[in-house]
Structure 1
Amino acid sequence: MSNKKVLVAGATGYLGQYLVKELKQRGYWVRALIRKESQRELFDTVDDCFIAQLSEPASLKGITKDIDWVFSTIGITRQKDGMTYMDVDYQGNANLLNEALQDGVEAFQYVSAIGGDKLRQLKIFEAKERFVDELKASGIQYSVLRPNGFSSDMRDFLDMAKGGRVYLFGNGQLRLNPIHGQDLAKVCVDTMLSGDKEVTAGGKDILTHNELAQLALKAWDKPIKISHLPDWIRRFTISLVRTFTSAKTYGPIEFFNSHGLR
């Protein structure tokens, strides 16, 4: 049984829910950040729920009181409700960090994404990495987790395969090893315990985009039909949507296609 008190921000998300379970299994006292009262029912094992909006600093007062560790998985893949990547991935986390610093929190962990530090030209990574910079400069003990995609993200392949054909940019030989949320939650806690500053995490199975496409098509009992699109189409598409749409539209497109840039 640990005497550490921890806060999980992003507790209602895919990774956040696994992280709460992992921490409770290891005997930690856990406070979950939720956005509305109805979300309390998601957490029957946590010790405390704190209702707040990360975009509203005044609502965060007291959120890190008596907290030793903060785990933040806060981030958005698609901008909505008028909120941008900079509003949530950067400013929301920065607001939380400010509370942690004021309350003397011991350590702060943030989950970004693999390659984010090398892809700052993309809107979503620009916001994430701006916060990483602030976290590193804050003086608090920190750790940054960089997962190579979640297993749940592979639904994009399944959704495409349902139509009977998967479209890939390039030759489809790019490899990745997505990790399940339950496994990543273990890595998150272990990293906080070890004191490691930056950790890249991935699953055991390393698969090419071609192999992922084949698995997705087989899952739907479809014949293997994969179309490989020239990489210039990806670059042209990103350039086009950047010119004629808002960040709300082109941000997710950049994010999805960033796998081809790594």
Structure 2
Amino acid sequence: MNKKPSVLLIGATGYLGSYLLKELVKQNYSVRVVVRNPQKLPQVENYSYEVVEGEVTRPSTIENCCKDIDVVMSTVGITRQKDGLSYMDVDYQANVNVLEEAKRSNVKKFIYVSVLKGDKMKGVKLCAAKEKFVDELRHSGLDYTIIRPTGFFSDMTEFYQMTKRGRVYLFGNGQTKMNPIHGRDLAGVCVSAIDKSEAEIKVGGPEVLTLNEIAYLAFSASNKESKITHIPDWIRLAILKITKTFTSNKTYGPIEFFLTFIGLDNMTAPKYGQHTLEEYFNSLNQ
């Protein structure tokens, strides 16, 4: 029987990373994680894995983190810029720091989770940082796989929060299509990529839905009457310009990504998984 490769997981305390850690140990991989705060790691009962305390934004704290590692898997990135760190500091440079360690230790493969159509949104600061790292990875000399999910179920939580306040606001006509994916399903895709040769994997959840349909599912889960207000798309574009002019990069970054993302006509990818958004919204109500 061939021995399974050893895996270094970066970002194990995040939404996707926590599912990845559980999936890796469930499939009996030898796992090492690098985390700033081990207390934030998810509970993984009856399994053991190695924990290294370090900050990927500080290279001196992660020296030799890739020693005896076959595969590096990174979900590192920030949605909201905090602690004085920018997207370039984390989504780009922190991953470069890990990549340099991987090259020094002769790691066989690097798996990185980016975003669907990130290469088409390089004008967006978050995507620019992610895609700059993708370019570094492509020229690293290592085998690699870029995972491009449509969006996480956790990103859809805002729809549910709006229904609890009584109304969902959507830009445009609400017909933009997407198929977000549950973290558990996406973790399975990432782990399966260890043994695959694809350089890039685009993936979404099992259901393609419009933004209107997502809103209706959220209203149903929260037991509220459906009330949707459609805001003209020119207002979205105006908000982008105004926030860029009058807010800090820290504030503007998440707004820029969100407003650009929802302005796309289609954010769908090949269907995968079993978990539905309806189940997720119902779990929030419980």
TM-score, normalised relative to structure 2? 0.88
Deviations 1:92-135 (A, max 9, x none): 00000000001100000100011110001011001100000100
Question: In the alignment, which residue of structure 2 is the partner of 1:58?
Answer: 60
Structure 1 residue 173 corresponds to structure 2 residue 175: yes
Give matches, 1:16-31, under 5 Å: 16-31=17-32
Q: Describe the shift of the 1:41–1:26 C-alpha distance in structure 2 as closer, same or farther (beyond 3 A).
A: closer
Preserved CA contact (<8 Å) 1:5 1:30: yes
Preserved CA contact (<8 Å) 1:135 1:142: yes
Structure 2 unaligned segments of length 5 or more: list them.
265-286
Identical counterparts, % of pairs: 50
Deviation for aligned residue 1:225: 0.8
Structure 1 residue 117 corresponds to structure 2 residue 114: no
Question: In the alignment, which residue of structure 2 is the partner of 1:33?
Answer: 34
Counterpart AA for 1:73: T
Structure 1 residue 223 corresponds to structure 2 residue 234: no
Deviation for aligned residue 1:40: 5.8
Question: In the alignment, which residue of structure 1 is the partner of 2:191?
Answer: 189
User: Which segments of structure 1 move beyond 2 Å, counting only runs of 4 or more?
Assistant: 36-47, 258-262
Deviations 1:124-175 (A, max 9, x none): 0011000001000111101000101011111010111111110001100001
Preserved CA contact (<8 Å) 1:2 1:28: no
Structure 1 residue 85 corresponds to structure 2 residue 87: yes
Q: Describe the shift of the 1:251–1:41 C-alpha distance in structure 2 as closer, same or farther (beyond 3 A).
A: closer
Question: In the alignment, which residue of structure 1 is the partner of 2:73?
Answer: 71
Give matches, 1:145-164, under 5 Å: 145-164=147-166
Q: Per the alignment, in what secondary structure is the counterpart of residue 227 of structure 1?
A: strand
Deviation for aligned residue 1:39: 3.8
Deviations 1:24-43 (A, max 9, x none): 12121000111124346745
Q: Per the alignment, in what secondary structure is the counterpart of residue 65 of structure 1?
A: coil
Q: Per the alignment, in what secondary structure is the counterpart of residue 54 of structure 1?
A: coil
Q: Per the alignment, in what secondary structure is the counterpart of residue 133 of structure 2?
A: helix
Counterpart AA for 2:127: F
Structure 1 unaligned segments of length 5 or more: list them.
none
TM-score, normalised relative to structure 1? 0.96
21-30 vs 75-84, greater mean Cα deviation:
21-30
Preserved CA contact (<8 Å) 1:85 1:123: yes
User: Structure 2: how far apart are the matches of 1:27 and 1:153?
Assistant: 29
Question: In the alignment, which residue of structure 2 is the partner of 1:12?
Answer: 13
Deviations 1:171-201 (A, max 9, x none): 0000110111111011111122111100111
User: Structure 2: how far apart are the matches of 1:41 and 1:74?
Assistant: 16
User: Structure 1: how far apart are the matches of 2:226 and 2:44?
Assistant: 42
Deviation for aligned residue 1:209: 0.2
Q: Per the alignment, in what secondary structure is the counterpart of residue 142 of structure 1?
A: strand
User: Structure 1: how far apart are the matches of 2:216 and 2:179?
Assistant: 16
User: Structure 1: how far apart are the matches of 2:42 and 2:14?
Assistant: 14
User: Structure 1: how far apart are the matches of 2:41 and 2:187?
Assistant: 21
Question: In the alignment, which residue of structure 2 is the partner of 1:94?
Answer: 96
Q: Describe the shift of the 1:46–1:127 C-alpha distance in structure 2 as closer, same or farther (beyond 3 A).
A: farther
Q: Per the alignment, in what secondary structure is the counterpart of residue 155 of structure 1?
A: helix
Counterpart AA for 1:224: S
